[in-house]
Amino acid sequence: MPLRHNLNLLAKKPLILLIVITGGFFSLSILAFLGYLSVAYKSFYVPSGSMEPTLKINDRLLANRLAYDSRLPQRGDIIVFEITEALRKRNFQGTFLGRVVGLPEDKIELKEGKVYVNNTVLTENYLQEKETEIFCLPEDRPYLTQPVVIPENSYLVLGDNRDNSYDGRCWGVVPEEKIIGKIVFRYFPFKRFGSLNEK
């Protein structure tokens, strides 16, 4: 092999090595990012109209499962959660979603179609209707027939469509350990594609 050809091959080796290393690093970065997404986010769909007009039937959503690793749920967050013991006793399965209205140790009261938190009416511009009728099953003993104080490490979760929502008014609170994550994004339908982080 001529000496000139050997020199050309040696000159190209660092460039080839750099391309291989860069390609490998890029591939590993993509895999790591996809792995993070699979851990941090989970897809859900909306099966009912209980959260209208914010969420509509068959909306596809992403929940951030790490959202509450460093902070607690806030009033106004839309969360997805595993069924509670009260819901299990009513033969429900799967997951529920709704909006956090009551925080631990809040005093909550329904009065004249409005939600009161610590004796102050809660402003809820996201509601489908201004009335707050309790939509419960015949066997339920509604949770909010009188003022209640939310227990520690628990949250009161209601639907935005109060006239057609089977929510915490009927069966009680969601323990913190049942919360899967915070709904942060709608990816379908495309005409309503976007973030749901706004309060």
Per-residue pLDDT tens over the stretch 67-104 = 999 999 999 999 999 999 999 999 999 999 999 999 99
How much is the pLDDT for 145?
84
Enumerate residues 6+ apart whose C-beta is below 8 A from 1.
Answer: none
How much is the pLDDT for 128?
67
- Nearest CA to 161 out of 135, 199, 187, 123 is that of 135
**Residue positions annotated with a catalytic role:** 50
| CATH class of the domain at 46-195 | mainly beta
88 phi and psi angles, rounded to 5 deg: -60, -40
Rounded to an integer, the average pLDDT of 130-134 is 56
Residue by residue, DSSP assigns 77-123 as -EEEEEPPHHHHHTT--SEEEEEEEE-TT-EEEEETTEEEETTEEPP
Strand-pairing partners, residue 61, are 44, 186
Quote the pTM value.
Answer: 0.80
57 phi and psi angles, rounded to 5 deg: -55, 135
List pLDDT tens digits, range 146-172. Answer: 999 999 999 999 999 988 899 999 999
